[in-house]
Amino acid sequence: MIWPVKGSLSMIEVHRLPPLIGPSDFQQIAALHVALSSSRKTIGSFSHLPRTPQRAVRGMRLLSCIAVTSLLTPVRALYSEEDHVKILDDEDFREQVQQDSGVWLVEFYAPWCGHCKELAPEYKKAAKALAGVVNVAAIDCQENEGFVQEFAVTGYPAIMIFGEDKTKPTLFDGDRTAKGIVEAALTASRRVVKARLDDGTEEKKRKSRSEAKKKRKASGKSSVVQLTDATFDGMVLNSGDVWLVEFYAPWCGHCKALAPEWEQAASNLKGSVKLGALEATVNEEKTTEYGIQGFPSIKVFGPNAMGPADAQDYTGERTASAITDFALTALETMGGGYQIKELVSEDAVADICNGRSSCVISVLPHITEGGKRARDGFIKTLEDAVKLVLGKPFKFGWMQGGDQVDFENRFELTFGYPSLVAINLDRKRFVVQRGAFIAEAISEFLQDVMQGRESTVGFDELPAIKTVKPWDGEDVQLDAIEEDDDDDDIMSEILANAVKKEEL
């Protein structure tokens, strides 16, 4: 289109130019205007010129307008169907992208945008490579302004990746090269395929972790030990336990992403390996001492670690499963052990039974039945069983026989000691071990529980747990037995005296 001209190019009605003109185009127009103005001064007044030169000037004006138009029209054609890039408008987008089950890459661009022009060759290469694999499209936002608000486009070019859920696209922020775009597209495709194969399992796991995190936050309880400069050495060094300590900063995005995985790993490892966290921006002494340069940083401490020289770096994947596997391996190689706690209160029972794991509770004979030697042997059996099921969803504890009668009755542990029951508090199901009280038999029993080969019984709630005095680790006191002996002596004396009286 050629726009009206009145006398000279300075009279072009710029406000009537089509909206596709960009800032750089106006600069070129201005430069052309200056050049024409200079030519006019050289020629002088048009009135005294012969008709032929006047026609020449009018021709110059016409050519100038054509030149201006030629500057503007090509920017509409960034892509064509031959480039394997689908050109979409509002209607096409609704019908093709939102109704399709495949992955789509959509570039939102403006034809006057310099960065869009720079991206175009790489985008075309990516589209050609992805042809038949991932759909690649482009939308001119000047002609389809509604998309700018709908998808919060704040700058050009913007590439959105539409995966399984077309209402929640992700913004591509990788390298604007053909390789970078292709890698992002294939990653999105793999994610969609994996989700379909898992049949929603991963999404359920994610929701489960999220709900567990909310519950822990609401209850104020966490399996992660919060450390400070003041408490670090006393809790972590030479502790007899394996520790994994995260050094983090509250503003760090990667730390925030790690937080739920770290919490889940701590819950998985409760009772075997300890996980701690130290806020580095507040506790600068330990951050400096351990040479922390970035966040999050994870250090591993063995049971006999004495300082920075003994700390190792964790460089594995930052997922709960990877951290758990690493920690259990470290436990085997570094030493330290799983401490099986005596359950002497309601809180102690809740501590091992709450969560997704099953609690395995053994009721051991009273200390008067066999003494310290027998009890240590039973606890050693449980510790050996723990080693055989490390990494499995079980947490162990023990009670003294006769201390929790309601518990023994509720879970059918009335046939003698030692006895053992596996309880899943979430599902309100339990199953009693009927085999030998040896590590291998207990391990086999728990494997069967995990595989669903043991018949479980339902229950409503845990019975009330009495708070009792914990075992002090010492052998049984024989005072009561000695008192009984004294009583026997007194009775013997009384009987002897009675016999003498009868003889007299």
Task: Give pLDDT tens digits for 436-490.
Answer: 999 999 999 999 999 899 999 999 999 999 999 999 999 987 554 444 445 555 5
Residue in 65, 141, 255, 359 annotated catalytic: 255
pLDDT digits (tens, 9 = 90+) for 205-222: 555 545 544 544 444 578
Mean pLDDT, the chain, as a whole number? Answer: 80
User: In sequence order, what E strands does 188-250 have?
Assistant: 225-227, 243-248
Query: Among 119, 197, 188, which residue's Cα sits nearest to residue 158?
Result: 119
Could you tell me which of 263, 427, 270 has the C-alpha nearest to residue 356? 427
Which superfamily does CATH assign the domain made up of 341-458 to?
A: Glutaredoxin (3.40.30.10)
d(CA 308, CA 71): 66
Asked if residue 46 has pLDDT above 50, the reply is no
Confidence at residue 177, expressed as pLDDT on a 0 to 100 scale = 94
pLDDT of 32 over the 80 cut: no
What SS3 string covers 283-330?
CHHHHHHCCCCCCCEEEEECCCCCCHHHCEECCCCCCHHHHHHHHHHH
Write out the two tokens for 354: 């709450």
Average pLDDT over residues 51-73: 47
Compute CA distances 203 → 51, 166, 200, 209, 268, whole Å. Answer: 81, 17, 5, 10, 20
Instruction: Establish whether 113 is a catalytic residue.
Output: yes
Q: Give the confidence band of 82 by pLDDT, cuts at 50, 70, 90.
A: confident
Q: What pLDDT shows up at residue 446?
A: 96
Q: pLDDT at position 3, please?
A: 43
Provide, rounded to the nearest whole percent, the portion of the chain with pLDDT above 70. Answer: 73
| 141 is an active site residue | no
The Cα 247–Cα 262 span in angstroms is: 12
- pLDDT at position 14 is 38
Question: pLDDT tens digit string along 95-132?
Answer: 899 888 899 999 999 999 999 999 999 999 999 999 98
Query: What percent of the chain is predicted at pLDDT more than 90?
Result: 49
**Strand (E) positions, 26-85?**
none
Judged by average pLDDT, the poorest of 12-21, 51-60, 261-270, 486-495 is 12-21
b/e string for 352-377 if b means 16 or more Cβ within 10 A? bbbbebbbbbbbbbebeebeeeebee
pLDDT in tens, 401-444: 999 999 999 999 999 999 999 999 989 999 999 999 999 999 99
Question: Which residues of the chain are in CATH 3.40.30.10 domains?
Answer: 81-198, 223-334, 341-458
- Distance (Å) of CA 205 to CA 213, 429, 455: 12, 21, 26
Residue 359: active-site member: no
**pTM score, two decimals?**
0.41
**Stronger pLDDT, 113 or 354, i.e. the higher one:** 113
**Architecture of the domain defined by 81-198:** 3-Layer(aba) Sandwich (3.40)
In this predicted structure, what is the pLDDT of residue 181?
A: 95
Task: Work out the average pLDDT over 265-274.
Answer: 86
pLDDT of the residue at 203: 56
Evaluate whether the domain defined by 223-334 bears CATH number 3.40.30.10. Answer: yes
- pLDDT the model gives residue 108: 93
Instruction: Decide if pLDDT at 389 tops 60.
Output: yes
pLDDT of 364 reads 98
What pLDDT was estimated at residue 480? 47
CA distance 71 to 60: 17
Out of 116, 141, 353, 359, pick the active-site residue: 116
Tokens of 257: 């992403």
Q: Which is the catalytic residue, given 65, 113, 141, 359? A: 113
Lowest mean pLDDT among 29-33, 153-157, 229-233, 390-394: 29-33
